[in-house]
Amino acid sequence: MSGTEPVRRTTRQRSAVLAVLDDLEQFRSAQEIHTELVRRGDSVGLSTVYRTLSALVADDDVDTLLRDDGETLYRRCHGETHHHHLVCRSCGATVEVDGPAVETWADRLAAEHGFDEVSHTLEIFGRCEKCRV
């Protein structure tokens, strides 16, 4: 079903958002990305930032992360496959990690309890070396 990715035109705004994402290594909120665009003098409407990010997520070009306060963070990821993140709470530095054992554990557990269509979220937060006092 589908596979018919809706056509995405190449616009100045879309390119600008992608440029910011490519430059930033950390997870950033839509608001922060918008601010960065303004700072660069390459201003893009806030609505457009949200729309573009949603499209990128739908196309699996960007990863998302839900912060404790419910705000959504975005980041361009390198790994093609499913992976998790080890994120620094202060600076946002991110390490992509695999957790094959966790995946199978979660699936088996769910199956044992009669659940199907299983998915899971797993993120690790901490403080990286550079952010120690």
Write out the residues near its own copies by the rule CB under 8 A: 66, 68, 70-72, 86, 88-89, 95, 97, 99, 101-102, 105-106, 109-110, 113-129, 132
Least distance between DNA and beta carbon 22 (Å): 17
CA-based torsion, 47, 16, 60, 69: positive or negative:
negative
Contact between residue 45 and residue 66 where contact means Cβ atoms under 8 Å apart: no
Short-list 66, 91, 77, 75, CA closest to 17: 75
Structure tokens at 36: 């960065």
Kindly report the CA angle at 94 between 10 and 29, in degrees rounded to 5? Answer: 50
Least distance between DNA and beta carbon 81 (Å): 25
Identify which of residues 71 and 98 has a Cβ nearer to DNA in the complex: 71
The interface partner of residue 54, options being its own copies, DNA, none and the CB cut-off 5 to 8 Å by kind, is DNA
Only one of the segments 37-45, 78-86, 94-102, 123-131 lies at the binding site for DNA (rule: CB under 7 A); that segment is 37-45
